[in-house]
Amino acid sequence: MKTKILVSSDSGIDYISHPHSVASLPSLIKFFEIEKYFDYIDMTSDKFFNRLRYDKKVKPEIVPMELEYIQNDINIALESYDNVLIIVSNFLDYGLLFSKLKEAYGDQIDFYITPATGFILASMAIEGDRILKEKKKTLDDAKAGMDLVYNNSGMLILNPQVDIHISENVNEEKRVEERRKAKLYIVDSNGEVEIKDRDRDFIVSIIKNYLDRVAEENVIPFIMYSSKYSYYLKLLESKLLIIHKRYKNIKKIPASPNLGMKYGENIIVIGYIKNLN
């Protein structure tokens, strides 16, 4: 039995190589009622975050795309596959849509909802696809494999309240002051923890300890960013190379609009997935 996987676009699957049997299910980005864009197709991550930075009046909303568009993607998939597995982050509410889809397609469709997002979610979809291509493997086997990926992953999310472009000539005093305003979150299968202490040295120590731990373990490290021109991104990259040479070729992926809506338009994420093979 051949299964097509559709994974929500906040996974960033469009920005990395992936099997043809895995495809993106775009979210809908709405700035106003008449201004709507499909994530990645009409509006890339870079364009979305630039819009947030330079148009402070906009209040975007990100929602699942309409039922008719999802059905179109499913119908196209079912022309070549026996069934469809839809994998989505719980950032968005697909509950009513899934009920209608189940009513329309029955056993030809199944769903997997997870707290994961970004590169972790993309990796889960790719792992689920790999398992389903093995002989005698079922959707339950694929879901168990995706659970395993999620339970062995984590992210450290840095949200500078004010970012600095790498071309800006800013004195160190201002850089230190802006770093004190940063918010820091640790997100993994145990949930989300915000680091409340605003002391710069404490935040730096948290980040360093996290990076040291990731470097020591048998993991796949990655970075997600909202701007490739961020001063903080370049600072992080330079620190990574000091910690371990393996970071030289670290995966770097644009952050999804969903992450930006939750954590801020200047986010930088350093994450890992344990290599279970």
pLDDT score, position 167:
45
Residues 6+ apart with CB under 8 A from 19: 126, 129
Percent of the chain with pLDDT over 70: 85
pLDDT score, position 231:
78
Sheet of 109-114, strands arranged across: 22-25, 3-8, 83-89, 109-114
**Domain co-membership, 124 together with 199:** no
Measured CA to CA, the distance from residue 110 to residue 18 in angstroms comes to 21
End of a domain among 135, 151, 167?
A: 151
Task: Give Cα separations from 134 to 82, 120, 202, 274 (angstroms).
Answer: 15, 22, 47, 22
CA dihedral 35, 111, 6, 61 (to 10 degrees): 20
Measured CA to CA, the distance from residue 63 to residue 74 in angstroms comes to 18
> In the numeric block, which tokens belong to residue 207?
């980040």
Range(s) of the domain holding residue 99: 3-151
* CATH code: domain of residue 22: 3.40.50.10170
**Domain co-membership, 91 together with 178:** no
**Domain co-membership, 127 together with 208:** no
Check residues 245 and 198 and name the one with the higher pLDDT: 245
Q: For the chain, what is the domain count?
A: 2
66-80, 100-114, 159-173: which range is least confident on average? 159-173
End of a domain among 94, 116, 151?
A: 151
Residues 6+ apart with CB under 8 A from 133: 21
**Domain co-membership, 108 together with 172:** no
Percent of the chain with pLDDT over 90: 56
- pTM of the predicted structure, to 2 decimals: 0.89
End of a domain among 89, 120, 151?
A: 151
In Å, how far from its chain's centre is CA 74? 23
Measured CA to CA, the distance from residue 15 to residue 253 in angstroms comes to 7
> pLDDT (tens digit, 9 = 90+) per residue, 53-93?
888 788 899 999 999 999 999 999 999 999 999 999 999 99
Measured CA to CA, the distance from residue 129 to residue 73 in angstroms comes to 18
Which range among 49-63, 162-176, 192-206 has the greatest average pLDDT? 49-63
* Under 8 Å between Cβ of 120 and 251: no
> pLDDT (tens digit, 9 = 90+) per residue, 141-152?
999 999 999 999
* CATH code: domain of residue 207: 3.30.1180.10
12-26, 76-90, 128-142, 241-255: which range is least confident on average? 241-255
Query: Which of 256, 276, 273 lies closest to 47, judged by CA?
Result: 256
**Domain co-membership, 22 together with 143:** yes
